[in-house]
Amino acid sequence: MDTSKDSWNACLQYRNKQLTKQLKDYQKVSALTKCSSSLIVAMGQLLCLHQKPSYGIIKDEAEWRDLFIVIDLFYGGCLSEELMSFGLSVQELRLCYLIRARLDNKTIALLFNIVPRSVLKAKQRIKNKLALSATDSLDMHIQQC
């Protein structure tokens, strides 16, 4: 009985050391980048979206907001300000940010748990709201905003 208790204590102490080290690493990164831990998480989420996208990576409104901030930092400007006057819905604005981050239709569809054809239809609706011509590329327009 004592050996299993000792083994369990040793395991917990080892895990505590691991987590303490990980916390120190996060604090160093946060100090170096001068940003909050939530923005560091958003950077990790953006990396996941590019490397191995899946449904549910971004869980709530706060995470979407942080992802928008990170995309604005990496790709320049404030996309939401550029698009504010066009009356886009929250979902359409999310789609524009994912386009800005250069994600393809398949990845966006996976993230929203829809089929790629639905992404194309949503892009067409946004194109109409932005008054772009049929020959204009929404992706290019958003990436150049």
- DSSP 3-state of 125: helix
Instruction: Identify whether residues 103 and 61 lie together within a single domain.
Output: yes
Q: Which domain holds residue 28?
A: 1-34
Q: Is the pLDDT of residue 29 over 60?
A: no
Share of the chain above pLDDT 70, in %: 92
pLDDT for the residue 25: 65
Instruction: Identify whether residues 19 and 66 lie together within a single domain.
Output: no
Instruction: Identify whether residues 80 and 131 lie together within a single domain.
Output: yes
pLDDT level of residue 22 (50, 70, 90 thresholds): confident
Residues with Cβ within 8 Å of 3's Cβ and at least 6 positions away in sequence, in order, are: none
Q: Is the pLDDT of residue 4 over 90?
A: no
Higher pLDDT, 103 or 22: 103
The tokens describing 55, both together, are 């449904």
Q: Is the pLDDT of residue 15 over 90?
A: no
pLDDT level of residue 31 (50, 70, 90 thresholds): low
pLDDT tens figures, 48-75: 999 999 999 999 999 999 999 999 988 8
Instruction: Identify whether residues 16 and 79 lie together within a single domain.
Output: no
Instruction: Identify whether residues 43 and 57 lie together within a single domain.
Output: yes
Report how many domains make up the chain: 2
